[in-house]
Chain A
Amino acid sequence: MSKDDVAFSVENVSISYPTSRGWVQAVRDVTMQVRRGQLVGLAGESGSGKSTLVLAATRVLQPPAVKVEGHVQIVGRDIFKLTKSELRTVRWKTFSFVTQSAMNALNPVMRIRAQMHDAMRAHDPDYSRSKADRRCEEVFRIVEVPIAKLDSYPHQLSGGQRQRAVIALALVLQPQLIIMDEPTTALDVVAQREIIALIRKLQRELGFAVLLITHDLSLLLEVADDVVVMYGGRIMESGPSSELLRDARHPYSRALIQSFPPLHGPMKRHEGIPGSPPDMQNPPPGCPFAERCASAIDVCSEKAPTLVSWRERQIACHVAQTDVADSEVGV
């Protein structure tokens, strides 16, 4: 794979927050990629570090609010080496961000058109008023919201329309990567489906890549190309969704998949995952999942496993890595 194929690449990134009790490491040694045109899902529970990862990787969170180590590239640009003015031209034009509870991200006292103009002219001074107007209408057509709504205030739109308007805003300067943090959690199932179908369709037509952050693993397994599963600040397992669905290797990703009751087929009692997620102020020395893991062995609570590549996948698990090695010998 050539470097040009990669829209978003994170290499050995660790992120810590300062607290009154010293540094708390929220993300540890994460490496992942999103290739051009792909939809990659980042799945994890609250506290898994998924939002911290993308906020720091896009420099929304910057020192001294956080301490960041590692490298991040977005479409060939080394994010941590950009100056502030360079960063402004990269944001929105190279990548854009749909934040959590995006429906409420719109300014309630500004018409939507004015908000879109603001964003466009801040990041690309070439846009004249009339050119910006034309572009606004174009993107509204793309996301299938009536153009008249451009002159509405956010409260005059339904939840689904507001979400579409936010996606239109993210699209407006034609970025090659859109990062979406829980874009559909506030929406109903039907509206969620509409939005996901829309994103997929726009990706096919316009070719941008999407990093979709959500806790809804069953949705990702259905629609994403690749899935990255995070827990306790680390990647547990990543790989093509179809592979993970068929044959997840990490005990956590297996248990997480089992946590979603199936919609069809025979119904049997599923066991939940006992215990609760680790306290990140006081992280366990070994694998963050060891305490809740049914297959844990002694080494799991002593030493954190490293992320190892296996076929198209990456796995960080002492037990699964041994299994995988055994099965390779068998082959």
Chain B
Amino acid sequence: MSAMRQNVPTIEPQRLGAPLVLQNVHKRFVQGGRVSHVLRGADLQVGASEIVALVGESGSGKSTLARTIMRLYTPDEGSLMFDGRDVTTARGRDLREYRQRVQMVFQDPFASLNPTHSVRTILKRSLPPRLQSLRDKERDDLFRDALEKVGLTPPDNFLQQFPHELSGGQRQRVALARSLAGRPDLVLADEPVSMLDVSLRLGVLNLMLSLNEQYGIGYLYITHDLASARYVGARIAVMYAGDIVEEGPADTIVEEAKHPYTQLLIQAAPDPDRRGVDDLDSAVFTGEPPNLSMEIQGCPFQFRCPHVMDKCRKEVPMKRPVGDGQLVKCHLYA
């Protein structure tokens, strides 16, 4: 940091990061008299300064989980702890403070930035109240710092630009810069690269990795792509039908998946190294995720599982440790 800037607030070199713990979170939505039970007892932990990748198909409830963590929804059951404090039903000042420390980056950078605002205004809107009173020059210095950190250089060119003048990758960087302005401890990134061109994706993922290394910002990286989950995540949690069915260190999940659903995801992921080795149709693919507006008795994966047993149709499996830091909800490992 240059000597000139020493007196202005920047994203402090202090370590950020705080742990998030979700326990047995349930969320139901009522639609036209029908109840959709979207989160079904999800447990999840993101340690301080940790990157956890949450993997699942569409409809598995991963976006609902992120929105519940953000407290855009209040859980119907279960608890949400952040930095040792219960924020399950936090309100007013406590909720504002929580939302400042936990930020969200949305999937579609074309929709998540206000098209009528310049980048400067977009960043200004994201500042926490205590920084709203900064003088313009100080605030611009803060923004320049944030834009530099996300690789939008020279920052002065970008401050006055509008979203339509930026490419998709640049927009997603603005969204990340916005998430930084409030100095978050944890960022929920909901499919942040799936709308971007392939050649730009890695840049955004690398940016998340380096912000994590330098400042300790933790990430919950939500994706359906296992390969990128392994690339950024220290741990991977696999979500199916509103519940986390397996979690563990990223390499363990990819190399030694225990849950039949995780195994299915790995078989289905494109993998050029498998060319000619594995026959494309040797894998067994059956069925689709269950309809969450129906009550499911037993394991939610029973309808697609090649190893289904009687027990699976009666009891929901408990979470069990199966290895070093690996947890799985499956009767096969009882």
Residues of A in contact with B (beta carbons under 8 Å apart): 45-46, 158, 160, 188-194, 196-197, 200-201, 215-219, 221-223, 241-242, 245, 255-265, 267, 269-274, 276-277, 292
Which residues between 265 and 285 of chain B lie within 8 Å of chain A, taking CB atoms? 265-276, 280-281, 283, 285
Complex CA gap A255/B206 in Å reads: 15
Known pairs A189-B268, A197-B283, A223-B275 / 16 extra A-B pairs, C-beta < 8 Å = A160-B288, A188-B58, A190-B268, A197-B280, A218-B227, A218-B271, A222-B274, A223-B270, A259-B198, A259-B199, A263-B273, A264-B254, A270-B206, A272-B202, A272-B204, A276-B167
Q: Cβ of A276 and Cβ of B200 under 8 Å apart?
A: yes
Query: What are the residues of chain A within 8 A of B200 when measuring CB–CB?
Result: 272-273, 276
The answer to the question of B331 belonging to the interface, with a C-beta cut-off of 8 Å to chain A, is no
Complex CA gap A272/B227 in Å reads: 15
Complex CA gap A258/B201 in Å reads: 11
Total A-B Cβ pairs within 8 A: 128
> Do A261 and B275 contact each other (CB < 8 Å), given the known contacts A190-B57, A270-B202?
no
Query: What are the residues of chain B within 8 A of A272 when measuring CB–CB?
Result: 199-206
Q: Which of A188, A216, A270 has the most CB of B within 10 A?
A: A188
Q: Cβ of B199 and Cβ of A273 under 8 Å apart?
A: yes
Shortest CB-to-CB span from A283 to chain B, Å, is: 16
**Selected contact of B270 from candidates A200, A201, A219, CB within 8 Å:** A219
Q: Cβ of B269 and Cβ of A191 under 8 Å apart?
A: no
> Do A267 and B202 contact each other (CB < 8 Å), given the known contacts A158-B288, A222-B275?
no
Query: What are the residues of chain A within 8 A of B276 when measuring CB–CB?
Result: 242
The answer to the question of B224 belonging to the interface, with a C-beta cut-off of 8 Å to chain A, is yes
Query: What are the residues of chain B within 8 A of A271 when measuring CB–CB?
Result: 202, 206
Query: What are the residues of chain B within 8 A of A196 when measuring CB–CB?
Result: 280
Complex CA gap A219/B276 in Å reads: 13
Q: Cβ of A267 and Cβ of B201 under 8 Å apart?
A: no
A-B contact pairs, 11 of them (CB 8 A): A189-B226, A190-B57, A190-B264, A197-B280, A197-B285, A216-B270, A223-B280, A260-B272, A261-B228, A262-B227, A276-B199
Q: Cβ of B169 and Cβ of A276 under 8 Å apart?
A: yes
Complex CA gap A219/B269 in Å reads: 8
Q: Which of A191, A222, A257, A262 has the most CB of B within 10 A?
A: A222
Shortest CB-to-CB span from A100 to chain B, Å, is: 15
Shortest CB-to-CB span from B226 to chain A, Å, is: 6
Q: Cβ of A189 and Cβ of B227 under 8 Å apart?
A: no
Residues of B in contact with A (beta carbons under 8 Å apart): 57-58, 167, 169-170, 197-206, 209, 224-228, 230-231, 251, 254-255, 264-276, 280-281, 283, 285, 288
Query: What are the residues of chain B within 8 A of A274 when measuring CB–CB?
Result: 203
Query: What are the residues of chain A within 8 A of B254 when measuring CB–CB?
Result: 263-264
Shortest CB-to-CB span from B233 to chain A, Å, is: 11
Q: Cβ of B209 and Cβ of A269 under 8 Å apart?
A: yes
Query: What are the residues of chain B within 8 A of A160 when measuring CB–CB?
Result: 288
Q: Cβ of A259 and Cβ of B275 under 8 Å apart?
A: no
Chain A residue with Cβ nearest B251: A267
Complex CA gap A269/B203 in Å reads: 11
Shortest CB-to-CB span from A240 to chain B, Å, is: 11
Query: What are the residues of chain B within 8 A of A45 when measuring CB–CB?
Result: 197-199
Chain A residue with Cβ nearest B274: A222
Q: Cβ of A188 and Cβ of B281 under 8 Å apart?
A: no
Shortest CB-to-CB span from A78 to chain B, Å, is: 34
Q: Cβ of A261 and Cβ of B231 under 8 Å apart?
A: yes
Q: Cβ of A260 and Cβ of B224 under 8 Å apart?
A: no
Query: What are the residues of chain B within 8 A of A292 when measuring CB–CB?
Result: 199
Q: Cβ of B281 and Cβ of A197 under 8 Å apart?
A: yes
Complex CA gap A254/B33 in Å reads: 54
Q: Cβ of B197 and Cβ of A265 under 8 Å apart?
A: no
